[in-house]
Structure 1
Amino acid sequence: MPAQPSQAIDSDLAARLAAQAASADGRAGARLSAAIADVFADERDRLDERTRMAINRLAEATVAAIERDIAGHAARLLEARGFPDAAALLAGNRAMTLPRLIESGLMRDPGVMGEMIAQARVGLIDEALAAQRAPGSTAMLLAALAESADGVVRARAVAYLVADSRRRMAHADRRAELPDALHERLAWWVAAALRERLGHGVPPEVDRALSEASQRSIAAHDDGERVEAAAAQLVAAIDPVAGTLPQLMIDSLGEARTSLFVALLAHALGIEFSEARGLTLDADSDRLWLALRALGIERHLIAQVGFVLCEADRARDVETLPESLDRVATLAPETAARAVAPLTLHRDFRAAVRALARSPRA
């Protein structure tokens, strides 16, 4: 005997309620796991609310910008190819993908989130540095470099100012400046999430349009426009000698140009920008002071850098700074250089060494 309409409706409703209950149960388990992890997290590992908000805003703006590029171009392609419904859905909806990327766990990718967290923290440090400037003070370093008699330095300084001003856009408009590989990874994630939003049975033409739009977004991304690339090129053009390096570093922080400070540090140590940025953001160790000592910088100059960063970075403790500097100042530059020498090795090689160290030989 066939099921009556009311029985079919009841059956569908029961199935939906069961699915919702299972989903809620899973979500409750996830909340409990997160709460337990938070309870036992070291206080030093917790993000303060201001930093968390900055990271969230940066992630939202970055994913939304990539989504607009891909969805908009795919919609135009589909409209032209006779798929108006799919085109309308892609063109008419915004901010569709980030919740799904978070839910799926893709946004937990250490590469993508590590870059966003670092850029958000640098942005907050720059904001604090700018707020610390004395009223009426002028930014002399970049102004002088932009008017340098050396044409290469002048051009690189202007390019850096343009890149840095773009990075300082309003929070709602600012997107992370991802390296090519990370931008490509995120673009494909966004495309896959857009495809999923279109429902089951997506025709090959829709897949093709999303793929073409993603490839267009990837091809348009220019690593050379990132502020870290512009900073590195400027520092390479300056090629500062040891005697001028400390004051350049101090002046760059004084003008709220943390990316320039990082580039100066990277150039002097012969390491990658990301490694130097990691040193600059590491508030739990003496690694930055050790690196500065390895460059032959004297204690009183390291102290100037340290005090400015401690005032600007909430993660740092200015009260422990003198003791840290005393430890580092006793070292000869050659000894400090040996301590930071591993940073000059390729990051993948160092990661492989650490992985083997975690798994002792039988």
Structure 2
Amino acid sequence: MSVDLSDITPAPAPDSPAFHARAAAAESRGAARLAAQVDDFFRADADRLDDRTRAAAAATLRANLLALFDDLVQRVVDQVPGLDRSGDQIAEAVQRRLHASGLLRQPVLMEALFARVRQDILGDTLRANRAPDASASVLARLIAERESATADAARAYVTADGRRHPGSPADLPPPCRETLLWSLAAALRDHWAAGSSAQPLVDRALADAVKASIADHDDADRLESIATRLAGLMGGEEGLLAAQLVGALEEGHVALFIALVSAALVLDQSIVRALVLDPADERLWLALRALELDRATIARIGFLLSEADPRRDLEVLAERVTTAAALPPHKAAEGLALLALPAPFRAAIGALDRATAR
């Protein structure tokens, strides 16, 4: 069998500048790879991404980048005829450029991505753990009301939740979506027009396209936004919060569970989501006790989360639930007081505390 070598770039001569440049680049890559491997070797297991989260985060990030890429390209080529829009090839090149540049390594973006993925995985696992003959409760009851704002919101929640799975695009918070759009615009600029006479025209078209995409985006269709509306409508049902919370978790509706706790405690959803997803954070049990839930309800919620998240220890859970349930609700609420403060204020307090401890 013959092999066509016509497209293979010949190796540079050993005494050429190109050879030395490639050797230096290989050495640098090797050093960077070793540093990453050493860092990973000494990292605690609790600080590592598990394989399922890693794969889902990669698929979700890629899906978001591709969806936003298609949106931007369509908007720009409508303004600047003649631009190369050869789809997959440009998309792959742009994604490689973004990964290599470090633009995607922004903590706020990655935190939101990991939270979105972990929340979806938790919901999927809770649904998988549900008994096959278990009857639907919370959303089915609300939808059965037929003609009401609550029923409409419940139906919208079911639709939005059905679109959510690891690897599906969209549903990132607007600031993260905007970060990805501007990063994609910079990479497309680099691909299309960097240094050419068309650069000012392409720059303006890209900036206009990003602004138009941001303006056209409706955050009201995002699952978390719908969950907030639904939780607000459900909040008027006196004495039903405990059953609503347990039912939401049993059915795998993690976004609704988070929204109900957030609304009841007047806390930001991102804060409550962090409490729910972090197996080491004891404040979730304080939050549930602050809602005046009894020990049996708190234990049921804890058991559901432990069954769905192998990182949780049932013995530790029992101890923490017992401790939290013994507290008066107002004392549990005092333990959450800092969480109600504005984020910049909490960050400044934390920085001062760390400085004092040193």
Common fold by TM > 0.5: yes
Partner Cα distance (1:76, 1:201) in 2: 22
1:57 CA displacement = 0.9
The one-letter code sitting in structure 2 at the alignment partner of 1:132 is N
Shift of the 341–17 alpha-carbon distance from structure 1 to 2, 3 Å rule, reads same
Give the structure 1 partner of residue 205 of structure 2.
209
- Which of 100, 109, 124 pairs up with 2:97? 100
Following the alignment from structure 2 to structure 1, what is the Cα–Cα distance between the partners of residues 95 and 89? 16
Distance 1:88 1:183, change over 3 A: closer
CA contact (8 A) 1:74 1:210 kept: yes
What residue number does 1:5 align with? none
Aligned to 2:185: 191
Residue matched to 1:40: 42
On the 8 A contact 2:116/2:172 being kept in 1, the answer is: no
Q: Tell me if the contact between 2:84 and 2:192 (Cα under 8 Å) persists in the aligned partners.
A: no
Structure 1 residue 285 and structure 2 residue 281: aligned? yes
Deviation digits for residues 260-287 of structure 1 (CA, Å, limit 9, x no counterpart): 0000110111101111101111101311
How far off is 1:76 after superposition?
A: 3.0
Secondary structure in structure 2 of the residue aligned to 1:184: helix
Which structure 1 segments of 5+ residues have no match? 1-8
Alpha-carbon distance in 2 for matches of 1:77, 1:209: 6
CA distance in 1, matches of 2:126, 2:21: 51
For residues 208 and 239 of structure 2, what CA distance do their matches in structure 1 show? Answer: 52
Q: 1:346, 1:241 → 2: CA distance? A: 29
Given residue 221 of structure 1, which amino acid in structure 2 is its aligned partner? H
How far the C-alpha of 1:90 sits from its partner, in A, is: 6.2
Shift of 1:252: 0.4
1:138 to partner: Cα distance: 3.5
Q: Deviation at 1:12?
A: 12
Where 2:104 maps in the other structure, the secondary structure is: helix
Inter-partner Cα distance in structure 1 for 2:14 and 2:236: 72
Q: Does 1:25 align with 2:27?
A: yes
Number of the residue aligned with 2:118: 121
| Structure-2 separation of matches of 1:213 and 1:15 | 42
In the alignment, what sits opposite 2:134? 137
Residue in structure 1 matched with residue 155 of structure 2 by the alignment = 158
Are 1:60 and 2:62 counterparts? yes
- Secondary structure of 1:93's aligned partner: helix
1:77-124 per-position Cα deviation (integer Å, ceiling 9, x unaligned): 222xxxx2x334568632332322222222111111100100000110
Q: Distance in 2 between matches of 1:354 and 1:262?
A: 24
Sort the Cα spacing of 1:277 and 1:361 in 2 relative to 1 into closer, same or farther, 3 A.
Answer: closer
Task: Tell me what 2:144 maps to.
Answer: 147
Distance in 2 (CA, whole Å) between partners of 1:62 and 1:189 is: 12
Q: How many pairs are equivalent?
A: 346
Contact 1:119 1:176 in 2 (8 A): no
Match of 1:3 in 2: none
Separation of aligned partners in 2, 1:314 and 1:102? 31
Farther-moved stretch of structure 1 (198-207 vs 138-147): 198-207
The alpha-carbon distance between structure 1 residues 228 and 90, as it changes in their structure 2 partners (threshold 3 A), is: same
Pair 219,19 (structure 1): closer, same or farther in 2 beyond 3 Å? farther
Cα deviation for residue 243 of structure 1 reads 2.5
Please name the residue that 1:6 is paired with. Answer: none
Contact kept? 1:74, 1:90, Cα under 8 Å: no
Equivalence for 2:341: 345
Whether the 8 Å CA contact 1:129–1:254 is kept in 2: the answer is yes
Q: TM-score, normalised by structure 1?
A: 0.88
Residues 130-175 of structure 1 deviation map (CA, whole Å, 9 limit, x = unaligned): 111111334232121123267221222122222222224xx44x12
Structure 1 residue 235 corresponds to structure 2 residue 257: no
Say whether 1:51 aligns with 2:53. yes
Q: Deviations over 1:303-326 (max 9, x none)?
A: 100000111123322232112212
What's the secondary structure of 1:134's corresponding residue? Answer: coil
Amino acid at match of 1:219: A
Distance in 2, Cα, partners of 1:302 & 1:225:
31
- Give the gaps of 5 or more residues in structure 2: 1-10
Partner residue of 2:106? 109
2:201 alignment partner, SS class:
helix
1:181 aligned onto 2:178: no
Query: For 1:152 and 1:181, how far apart are their aligned partners in 2?
Result: 29
- Matches of 1:75 and 1:205, distance apart in 2: 11
Q: Aligned partners of 1:76, 1:149: CA distance in 2, in Å?
A: 44
Three-state SS of the structure 1 residue aligned to 2:336 is helix
1:74 & 1:160 partners in 2: Cα distance?
33
